[in-house]
Amino acid sequence: MNRYENNHDLQETLASRGGMPAGKWSIFRLAHEAETDSLSLSFDGLTCLSQLPNVVPFAHQVATAVRVINELRGRALLADEVGLGKTIEAGIILKEYMVRGLVKKALVLVPASLVLQWTRELNEKFGIQAFAQRNAWSWETYDVLVASLDTTKRDPHRTAVLGQVYDLVIVDEAHKLKNTRTRNWQIVNQLRKKYLLLVTATPMQNDMRELYNLINLLRPGQLGNSTDFAAAHVEGQRTAKNPTVLRGAIQEVMVRNRRQDSGVEFTERTVEAVRLELTREERELYDAVTSFVREEYVRRRESRRSVLSLITLQREICSSSYAAMCTIETMLKDRRLAQDNRVRLQELYHQAESVPGYSKVNKVTEIVRSTPEKLIIFTEYRATQDFLLYMLQQSGVKAVLYRGGYNRGKKDWMKDLFEHRAQVLVATEAGGEGINLQFCNQVINYDLPWNPMRIEQRIGRVHRLGQTRPVFIHNFATAGTIEEHIVSLLQDKIRMFETVIGELDVILGPKAFENDLMSTFMESSDDLEVRARLSALSRRVQVKDASL
């Protein structure tokens, strides 16, 4: 039995005109033509492509849009690897639904830094009248609204947005919804929506529950309840029990295109390890900090205390002494700190203060001066970022900062300054999330994250669709430090910079990787043992990757 919905608008309008159908036949025919033109003539296919003269989509983007609409029925996780144009895919899907009359009211939730970029792209590329959310009235006023997830989850916006009914909700950088206890997850869960697109290149960062939580937003029960899921699919925190079965279930809600399969030609990527020698003072400081960390690490492990600050300190000393000083300062504020440790930390602090020259900074200045090209320098730490900016300015190099804490307008401004005024952008990858900087083709990794996913996020800022020139990546590695091992492991052994890690992230969470690295460094008695253990680690990664 068919369910009909009758629309009586025409009849009511006619009645309001006294039943007189006044009008010209010639325009009637024109209107009939216009109505015919606006029809969705079949269930399948994309009708919107002819209406997108400003977008030339790649085959994988069109295939993704078709699959999401016809097979995944509009509730999907778009998890293409970085740089394959997930935004374009989401835009095509939105446009198609709008052209077909299935979506009128849509909400795009993105990090604050991407609000304007999304608004602009929807307007310019897709001809969709999208507005950036500005105040509490925006929710009701506009049909297609782009808003920051962080703003949306706070009152009064939260109350306002939950009062709306959305035909489509798109969440960019959806890995921020990995935890069901966060407001991020809860607000998206509570939104009233017909279709839902979650967009992220890293659907799973730390453990398999994160992927489960994302999929539960799309289709509750797709992977069973959490107990069933754990029993059926989870072997370890990051290991799937039966990857083939799990992949089958996930594919019903997820699309993941890989660079190597997409058929898209990316420009060449040249990776260079820049080996540096520390100055004598830097070397002494490094050794002193490392020996402190090593002793304290073993002690804390034995007493089962947190080693997080030690890991941070060890990584920071590889980055810059300035960054390490900040953490030492924080550690000194801890009242529970033993007296002998306090004295040692104070000594380290003074030692760091008195370092007269910085080999890494000198190298940066040298590279910057040797090229007229624009460069992005990535670092993990804000302290290093501030320090670098200061040092660059001292050497007369025009540089700007880019970091997570900046608001939307400031990020846009900084990007603009970098494009038009400055030569160098000093960024943290957390701040650079999602921005497109294809006008630049040089990246300096001042320090390397121990998290494989973040490396690709960094490079993805420049090495993505739209980049026309070869991309050069300079990885700084100071001789005789942990950093040297890290660079060699990521660059030469796992070849993380040349082949984009694909399913690796699904099997090997970055946290495990980080912990394995730390215990390798801290528990090995000498350099030889470090090398042996890292080789074993890289073999394990490669075997797992190949087994997929």
Task: Select the residue interacting with other proteins from 16, 22, 304, 421 (CB under 8 A).
Answer: 22
Pairing of strands 130-132, 75-78: unpaired
Contact call for residue 76 and other proteins (CB under 8 A): no
3-state SS class at 169: strand
- Residue 272: both structure tokens together: 């260079």
Q: Which residues, in sequence order, are CB contacts of 170 under 8 Å at separation 6+?
A: 90, 94, 106, 107, 108, 109, 196, 197, 199
Task: Select the residue interacting with other proteins from 186, 365, 488, 524 (CB under 8 A).
Answer: 186
Task: Select the residue interacting with other proteins from 323, 414, 444, 486 (CB under 8 A).
Answer: 323
> Cα(129)–Cα(143) distance, rounded to whole angstroms?
8
Task: Select the residue interacting with other proteins from 80, 81, 121, 167 (CB under 8 A).
Answer: 167
CB hemisphere CA count around 90 (13 angstroms):
32
String marking each residue 124-143 x if it binds other proteins according to CB under 8 A: ---x-x--------------
Cβ atoms within 10 Å of 53's Cβ, excluding its own: 9
How near is the Cβ of 503 to other proteins at its closest, in Å?
19
Hunting for tokens 């939950």 — which residue is that?
162
Task: Select the residue interacting with other proteins from 59, 135, 140, 165 (CB under 8 A).
Answer: 165
> Which range, of 320-328, 356-364, 416-424, 474-482, touches other proteins by CB under 8 A?
320-328
Contact call for residue 225 and other proteins (CB under 8 A): yes
Name residues contacting other proteins, limited to 451-470 (CB under 8 A): 451, 454
> Cα(217)–Cα(209) distance, rounded to whole angstroms?
12
Task: Select the residue interacting with other proteins from 134, 136, 141, 221 (CB under 8 A).
Answer: 221
How near is the Cβ of 472 to other proteins at its closest, in Å?
24
> Cα(337)–Cα(332) distance, rounded to whole angstroms?
7
Q: What is the DSSP string of 453-502?
A: HHHHHHHHTTSSTT--S-EEEEEEEETTSHHHHHHIIIIIIS-TTTSPP-
Contact call for residue 151 and other proteins (CB under 8 A): no
In eight-state DSSP terms, residue 174 is G
String marking each residue 329-368 x if it binds other proteins according to CB under 8 A: -x--------------------------------------
How near is the Cβ of 457 to other proteins at its closest, in Å?
12
Task: Select the residue interacting with other proteins from 58, 66, 67, 182 (CB under 8 A).
Answer: 182
Task: Select the residue interacting with other proteins from 61, 87, 152, 205 (CB under 8 A).
Answer: 205
Beta partners for 335?
none
- Most distant pair of Cα atoms in the chain: their distance: 97
How near is the Cβ of 103 to other proteins at its closest, in Å?
5
> Cα(376)–Cα(397) distance, rounded to whole angstroms?
13
> Cα(218)–Cα(169) distance, rounded to whole angstroms?
11
String marking each residue 295-314 x if it binds other proteins according to CB under 8 A: -------------x---x--
For residues 62 and 182, is the Cβ–Cβ distance under 8 A? Answer: no
String marking each residue 102-121 x if it binds other proteins according to CB under 8 A: xxxx----------------
CB nearer to other proteins: pick between 197 and 367: 197
Task: Select the residue interacting with other proteins from 66, 90, 172, 179 (CB under 8 A).
Answer: 179
CB nearer to other proteins: pick between 327 and 475: 327
With contacts defined by CB under 8 A, how many residues of the chain interact with other proteins? 116
Name residues contacting other proteins, limited to 28-57 (CB under 8 A): 28-44, 48, 50-54
Give, for 397, the enclosing helix (H) or strand (E).
none
How near is the Cβ of 5 to other proteins at its closest, in Å?
5
> Cα(324)–Cα(445) distance, rounded to whole angstroms?
18
Task: Select the residue interacting with other proteins from 389, 397, 430, 465 (CB under 8 A).
Answer: 430
> Cα(310)–Cα(301) distance, rounded to whole angstroms?
11
Name residues contacting other proteins, limited to 382-401 (CB under 8 A): 382-383
Cβ atoms within 10 Å of 531's Cβ, excluding its own: 15
